[in-house]
C-alpha cells in the first residue's frame, strides 16, 4: 500500500524564524494530541551529530530550524525562509519550509506517518490542525500512488482529503485508498 502524507502549501509569506517555530509548535502539539505515536520527534542540530529530542515548544523547535543559505559562500538567504526536518523512532517524518517569500519558492509542511495505522478521523483532525497552524492555500492528504493514478505531480490536484483556503473539507471517495474494513488504513 502506498504511504499517505499530509501536505500544507502556501505562496510567499515572509515570517521570521520565531514565527515559523511558533506555527510548527502549534501543529506538532496538535498532532501529538491526535496520535501519541507522533509525540516524540528527533532532529540533528549540527552536522554529524546524533539526533536530539525536539521539545514541542516554539523555543525548542527554534533551536532545530535551519537557515537557508547560498550554495556559494553559505550566506543566509532570508527570502527562502527556514527549514525544519525531524523524525520519530518509527520513521515518521516532517519536512517544512516556512517563511519563504521568494516568488519561486512555496512554503510547505509535509507530514508522513510511517509504520502504523492512522484512523481516517485522525487524518481529518491532522488536516484541520495544519489549516489552523499554517493558514495554507491548500492542505491535502494524498499519496504518490493517488497522484500517479491522476496523472499529476501536484498534491492539490489529486487528494483523498483536501481543503483550499476559505473552503470546506473535500473528500474524494474515488481516490480513497483501500482500507482494512474498520475505518482505518495501514500506511
Determine what percent of the chain falls in helix, strand and coil, rounding each to the nearest 5: 30, 30, 40
What span, in angstroms and rounded, lies between the C-alpha atoms of 123 and 184? 10
- How do 93-100 and 80-87 pair as beta strands? antiparallel
pLDDT score for 45: 61
What span, in angstroms and rounded, lies between the C-alpha atoms of 124 and 146? 17
Task: State yes or no: pLDDT of 25 exceeds 70.
Answer: yes
Q: Find residue 24's DSSP bridge partners.
A: none
> Is the pTM higher than 0.75?
yes
What span, in angstroms and rounded, lies between the C-alpha atoms of 155 and 14? 23
Mean pLDDT of 90-98: 93
Q: What is the total count of domains within the chain?
A: 1
Q: Across all residues in the chain, what is the average pLDDT? A: 87
pLDDT score for 183: 43
pLDDT score for 70: 67
Question: What would the pLDDT profile of 147-177 be if each residue is shown by its tens digit?
Answer: 888 898 999 888 999 999 999 999 986 665 4
Question: What would the pLDDT profile of 32-74 be if each residue is shown by its tens digit?
Answer: 999 999 999 999 765 556 689 999 999 999 999 998 776 777 7
Buried b (16+ CB within 10 A) or exposed e, 17-38: beebbbbbbbbbebbeebbebb
Identify the band that residue 181 occupies on the pLDDT scale cut at 50, 70 and 90. very low
Provide the domain limits for residue 111.
4-135
pLDDT score for 29: 98
Task: State yes or no: pLDDT of 100 exceeds 50.
Answer: yes
Question: Per the domain annotation, does 150 fall within a domain?
Answer: no
Which residues neighbour 163 within 8 Å (Cβ) at sequence distance 6 or greater? 127, 128, 131, 138, 139, 140, 169, 170
pLDDT score for 105: 87
Question: Per the domain annotation, does 71 fall within a domain?
Answer: yes
Amino acid at each position: 500500500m502506498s504511504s499517505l502524507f499530509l501536505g500544507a502549501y502556501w505562496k510567499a509569506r515572509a515570517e521570521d524564524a520565531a514565527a515559523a517555530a511558533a506555527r510548527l509548535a502549534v501543529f506538532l502539539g496538535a498532532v501529538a494530541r491526535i496520535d501519541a505515536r507522533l509525540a516524540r520527534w528527533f532532529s540533528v542540530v549540527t552536522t554529524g551529530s546524533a539526533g536530539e529530542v525536539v521539545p514541542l515548544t516554539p523555543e525548542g523547535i527554534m533551536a532545530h530550524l535551519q537557515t537557508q543559505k547560498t550554495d556559494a559562500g553559505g550566506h543566509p538567504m532570508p527570502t527562502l525562509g527556514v527549514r525544519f526536518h525531524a523524525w520519530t523512532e518509527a520513521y515518521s517524518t516532517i519536512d517544512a519550509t516556512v517563511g519563504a517569500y521568494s516568488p519561486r519558492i512555496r512554503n510547505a509542511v509535509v507530514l508522513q506517518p510511517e509504520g502504523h495505522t492512522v484512523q481516517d478521523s485522525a487524518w481529518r483532525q491532522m488536516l484541520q490542525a495544519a489549516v489552523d497552524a499554517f493558514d495554507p492555500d491548500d492542505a491535502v492528504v494524498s499519496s504518490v500512488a493517488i497522484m500517479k493514478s491522476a496523472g499529476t505531480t501536484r498534491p492539490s490536484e489529486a487528494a483523498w482529503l483536501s481543503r483550499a483556503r476559505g473552503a470546506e473539507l473535500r473528500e474524494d471517495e474515488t481516490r480513497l485508498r483501500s482500507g482494512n474494513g474498520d475505518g482505518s488504513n495501514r500506511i
